[in-house]
Chain A
Amino acid sequence: MLELRNRKVAERIVNQIKALHINLKIMHVCGTHQDTIVRYGLDHLLKTCGVEVIQGPGCPVCVTTPLEIQQAIALAENGVTIATFGDMVRVPAGDTSLEKVRAEGGDVRIVYSIDDARAIAETKEVVFLGVGFETTAPSTAVTVLDEPDNFSVLSFHRYIPPALDALLEMGEIKIDAILCPGHVSTIIGALPYVPLAEKYGIPHVIAGFEPLDVLMAVYMMAKQVQEGRHEVENEYVRCVNTEGNVKAQKVIGEVFEPADASWRGFPPIPQSKMAMRKKYAAYDAAEIYEDVLEGIEELPEPKGCRCGDVLRGVIYPQQCPLFGRVCTPSNPVGPCMVSIEGACNIEYRYKND
């Protein structure tokens, strides 16, 4: 059996990348990829091969906007029970956060899956914060389709391909290839990347999460660049089919429709957010609590925080003046230091421990 952490195999791949004599800047959009890359030191290893890797807007909690965080806080302050994944409660908005509202008596529950939120709904009205890309959205959709009582969703779910499109269109940094996310691709398949590869003339390679998956995907991209190709290739065949998980795509399409939306650090990205269809308004917290949510003015980013630049891949975490000094995982200023999938949190955890 192939051992996906075998050092000898890794060395052979690295040597092959070196032999291609290329200079590449690769972007990926996945916290788990970043975790693998930093944990195993692939960032430094790849630099010796002329390959730079940077994380883009691939952390759902991080790309959630200050306004969205403020909306969740407003609901909690108005006595609404909020159920959410752990990272969200610590994202600061101004001088508050869901965690602080909870400390002041707000009912904010941390859940491990949407099913835990449903269990709360058995005894009281609950709003679930729908955070995540195509990987997580199907679980929200399945739950809504089951028409649970006392249950609604404030959807912050987003689509990855429009964000890649916006980022490449902006052209703020030179990107030579895209390392496509593993489990987002399990859901959406390989086809949504084809128009992007063609439009921008750069390789897109889907990769798994083991160190050898990432190295092999980088080799596949490097080879494409050297041969002047710009195709969509799939290294993660054991978990990604060309057509993706069609059942999951169907439930997403049934419950959600694309809407224009801001992402933290980005101008509005067309058709990038999963808004709940009118048909499911009874489960849409944005409709149910419209009176609480309307008229909230978005607070500016925390002073000095450069999460926006990190999310656009313009700077590495260490280039933010707050990184590791003012801003740490136990005292985070911005979401990229809060979230386990954030580039700053990952960098801090593996390089400062």
Chain B
Amino acid sequence: MNTESKAFIVLGFLVHMCLAIPGQIAEIHGTKAVVDYGGITREADVSLVDVKKGDYVIVHAGFAIHVLNKKDAEETLKIFEEFFDHA
């Protein structure tokens, strides 16, 4: 595969695919925010969500689309715990 094709794949991955890794809101300036992915920062638009500094968000194509909260994370654990209780 040539370099250009590889570059397309990498770029495409960043843009198109659903990035399931949450980032943390480091700064907010109006509808724009700086999102921190463990040291790597990216700008994201936050007009589709209600966020404050410190929140964890899922970003798609430059837009935050979901704010994660502790309760939701615990719900995920519950699905697996219930599975283990019954399995």
Partner of B65, one of A2, A60, A115, A138: A138
Q: Does A289 contact B (CB under 8 A)?
A: no
Partner of B62, one of A139, A182, A238: A139
Are the C-beta atoms of B18 and A135 separated by less than 8 Å? yes
Are the C-beta atoms of B68 and A114 separated by less than 8 Å? no
Are the C-beta atoms of B16 and A31 separated by less than 8 Å? yes
Q: Does A210 contact B (CB under 8 A)?
A: yes
**Can you list, as one digit per residue, whether each of B65-76 has a CB less than 8 Å from chain A (1) or not (0)?**
110100011011
Q: Does A110 contact B (CB under 8 A)?
A: yes
Q: For residue B73, which residues in chain A have a CB less than 8 angstroms away from its CB? A: 238
Are the C-beta atoms of A32 and B20 separated by less than 8 Å? yes
Are the C-beta atoms of B83 and A216 separated by less than 8 Å? yes
Are the C-beta atoms of B65 and A187 separated by less than 8 Å? yes
Q: For residue A135, which residues in chain B have a CB less than 8 angstroms away from its CB? A: 18, 60-61, 65
Q: Does A248 contact B (CB under 8 A)?
A: yes
How close is B22's CB to chain A, nearest CB, in angstroms? 9
How close is B69's CB to chain A, nearest CB, in angstroms? 9
**Distance, CA A90 to CA B12, complexed state (A):** 11
A183-B58, A186-B66 are contacts. A142–B18 as well, Cβ < 8 Å? no
**Can you list, as one digit per residue, whether each of A110-145 has a CB less than 8 Å from chain B (1) or not (0)?**
101111000000000000000010011011001000
**Distance, CA A212 to CA B84, complexed state (A):** 13
A85-B12, A142-B47 are contacts. A113–B61 as well, Cβ < 8 Å? yes
Are the C-beta atoms of B79 and A90 separated by less than 8 Å? no
How close is A59's CB to chain B, nearest CB, in angstroms? 9
Q: Does A325 contact B (CB under 8 A)?
A: no
A86-B12, A329-B5 are contacts. A31–B80 as well, Cβ < 8 Å? no
Within 8 A of A (CB), among B30-87: 43, 45, 47-49, 58, 60-63, 65-66, 68, 72-73, 75-77, 79-80, 83-84, 87
Q: Which residue of B lies closest to A348 (CB)?
A: B1
A138-B65, A186-B66 are contacts. A216–B79 as well, Cβ < 8 Å? yes
Q: For residue A183, which residues in chain B have a CB less than 8 angstroms away from its CB? A: 18, 58, 60, 65-66
Q: Does A87 contact B (CB under 8 A)?
A: yes
Q: Which among A8-16, A165-173, A255-263, A271-279 touches the partner chain? A: A8-16
How close is B52's CB to chain A, nearest CB, in angstroms? 16
Q: For residue A182, which residues in chain B have a CB less than 8 angstroms away from its CB? A: 18, 20
How close is B3's CB to chain A, nearest CB, in angstroms? 10
**Distance, CA A132 to CA B62, complexed state (A):** 13
A2-B76, A9-B80, A238-B76 are contacts. A30–B18 as well, Cβ < 8 Å? yes
How close is B43's CB to chain A, nearest CB, in angstroms? 8
**Which has the most chain A C-beta neighbours within 10 Å: B11, B17, B61, B62?**
B61
How close is B83's CB to chain A, nearest CB, in angstroms? 7
Q: Does A339 contact B (CB under 8 A)?
A: yes
Q: Does A340 contact B (CB under 8 A)?
A: yes
Q: For residue A90, which residues in chain B have a CB less than 8 angstroms away from its CB? A: 8
**Distance, CA A328 to CA B79, complexed state (A):** 40
**Distance, CA A135 to CA B68, complexed state (A):** 16
**Distance, CA A96 to CA B77, complexed state (A):** 50
Q: Does A239 contact B (CB under 8 A)?
A: yes
Q: Does A266 contact B (CB under 8 A)?
A: no
Q: For residue A13, which residues in chain B have a CB less than 8 angstroms away from its CB? A: 83
Are the C-beta atoms of A139 and B72 separated by less than 8 Å? no
How close is B50's CB to chain A, nearest CB, in angstroms? 8
Q: For residue B68, which residues in chain A have a CB less than 8 angstroms away from its CB? A: 238-239
Are the C-beta atoms of A237 and B75 separated by less than 8 Å? yes
Per CB-CB distance, the 4 closest pairs between chain A and chain B, nearest first, are A113-B62, A340-B12, A237-B75, A32-B18
Beyond the given pairs A139-B60, A183-B65, 9 more chain A to chain B contacts, judged by CB atoms under 8 angstroms and listed by A's residue number, are: A2-B77, A35-B17, A113-B15, A139-B62, A183-B18, A187-B65, A209-B20, A329-B1, A340-B17
- Chain A residues in the interface with B (C-beta under 8 A): 2, 9, 12-13, 16, 30-32, 35, 60-61, 85-87, 90, 110, 112-115, 132, 135-136, 138-139, 142, 182-183, 186-187, 208-210, 212, 216, 219, 235-240, 245, 247-248, 251, 328-330, 339-341, 349
